[in-house]
């Protein structure tokens, strides 16, 4: 009989919600915050302000429930992104009623917010899929190698690798030839470092959530005999 978990569905819902919001709201917007004292500016993609939180959810899922269950959640998130992209394309593409004057304002706004190009959408989905599986795999393997000790080392270490892969896939696929190479590189590096910084800052909270879930669920899974193929939905 398969074990039933009380909070697994809530963690999965949180993961998918953060993923959808961070990918639908402002992924193509480049922000720049001046730093007068340093004589430079921070340049980053607006859509990535909250995306690192999905990696924290991913760390919690893999650490507590194991790679195979995290794999199911990653596929659920990927399916949600595909549906959201298709829905956005249909809604934006449907002809607006000329009888409704508000559509004059609404339609351009919808195109701006939800009318991402196919290239950006595909880059986002591919980067998420590859990056999250790398993150989960690295964390699961490190947990076995460290025998469950030093949680901070694998949450941060897996994020360093997973987010590097995510950024190296997303930005070149989405914006190479559109942005200047220097801008693309600066945004890529900053967002990679920013995501790692979020993981580091959230480490105390991650410890609290992981320890609480392990206690409440009676689970602390070690992937010693796991099949790490991403192409499966088996627990």
| 147 part of a folded domain | yes
Rounded to two decimals, what is the model's pTM?
A: 0.89
| 209 part of a folded domain | yes
| Statement: residue 29 has pLDDT above 80 | no
pLDDT band at 26 (very low <50, low <70, confident <90, very high): low
| 37 part of a folded domain | yes
Q: Supply the mean pLDDT for the chain.
A: 89
| 234 part of a folded domain | no
| 225 part of a folded domain | no
| 227 part of a folded domain | no
- The Cα 223–Cα 210 span in angstroms is 16
pLDDT band at 108 (very low <50, low <70, confident <90, very high): confident
Task: Report the pLDDT value the prediction gives residue 233, as an integer from 0 to 100.
Answer: 92
Which CATH number fits the domain that encloses residue 94? 1.10.1760
Cβ–Cβ under 8 Å, residues 162 and 134: yes
pLDDT band at 47 (very low <50, low <70, confident <90, very high): low
Task: Report the pLDDT value the prediction gives residue 105, as an integer from 0 to 100.
Answer: 85
pLDDT band at 31 (very low <50, low <70, confident <90, very high): confident
Angle at 98 between CA 97 and CA 102, to 5 degrees: 85
Output the CA–CA distances (angstroms, integers) from residue 85 to 78, 109, 114, in the order listed.
11, 16, 8
| 137 part of a folded domain | yes
Cβ–Cβ under 8 Å, residues 137 and 126: no
Which range, of 1-5, 124-128, 133-137, 213-217, averages the lowest pLDDT? 1-5
Task: Report the pLDDT value the prediction gives residue 178, as an integer from 0 to 100.
Answer: 86
Question: Which one is predicted more confidently, 39 or 163?
Answer: 163
Task: Report the pLDDT value the prediction gives residue 2, as an integer from 0 to 100.
Answer: 66
The sign of the torsion formed by the CA atoms of 184, 187, 190, 194 equals negative
- The Cα 116–Cα 207 span in angstroms is 36
Q: Which domain holds residue 119?
A: 8-217
| 223 part of a folded domain | no
| Statement: residue 186 has pLDDT above 90 | no
Average pLDDT over every residue of 33-58: 78
Tell me: the pLDDT tens digits for 50-62? 778 888 899 999 9
Q: Indicate the number of domains in the chain.
A: 1
Task: Report the pLDDT value the prediction gives residue 27, as an integer from 0 to 100.
Answer: 59
Average pLDDT over every residue of 140-167: 96
Average pLDDT over every residue of 201-224: 96
């Amino acid at each position: 009989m398969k074990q039933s978990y009380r909070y697994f569905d809530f963690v999965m819902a949180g993961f998918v919600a953060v993923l959808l919001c961070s990918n639908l709201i402002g992924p193509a917007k480049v922000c720049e915050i001046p730093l007068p004292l340093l004589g430079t500016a921070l340049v980053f993609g607006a859509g990535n302000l909250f995306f690192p939180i999905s990696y924290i959810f991913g760390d919690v899922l893999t650490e507590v429930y194991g790679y195979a269950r995290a794999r199911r959640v990653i596929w659920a998130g990927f399916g949600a992104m595909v549906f959201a992209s298709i829905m956005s394309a249909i809604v934006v593409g449907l002809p607006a009623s000329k009888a409704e004057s508000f559509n004059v304002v609404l339609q351009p706004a919808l195109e701006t917010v939800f009318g991402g190009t196919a290239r950006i959408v595909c880059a986002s989905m591919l980067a998420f899929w590859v990056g999250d599986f790398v993150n989960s795999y690295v964390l699961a393997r490190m947990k076995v190698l460290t025998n469950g000790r030093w949680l901070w080392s694998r949450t941060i270490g897996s994020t360093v690798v997973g987010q590097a892969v995510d950024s190296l896939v997303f930005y070149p696929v989405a914006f190479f030839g559109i942005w200047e190479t220097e801008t693309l590189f600066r945004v890529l590096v900053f967002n990679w470092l920013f995501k790692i910084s979020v993981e580091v800052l959230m480490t105390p909270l991650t410890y609290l959530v992981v320890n609480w879930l392990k206690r409440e669920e009676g689970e602390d899974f070690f992937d010693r005999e796991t099949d790490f193929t991403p192409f499966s939905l088996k627990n």
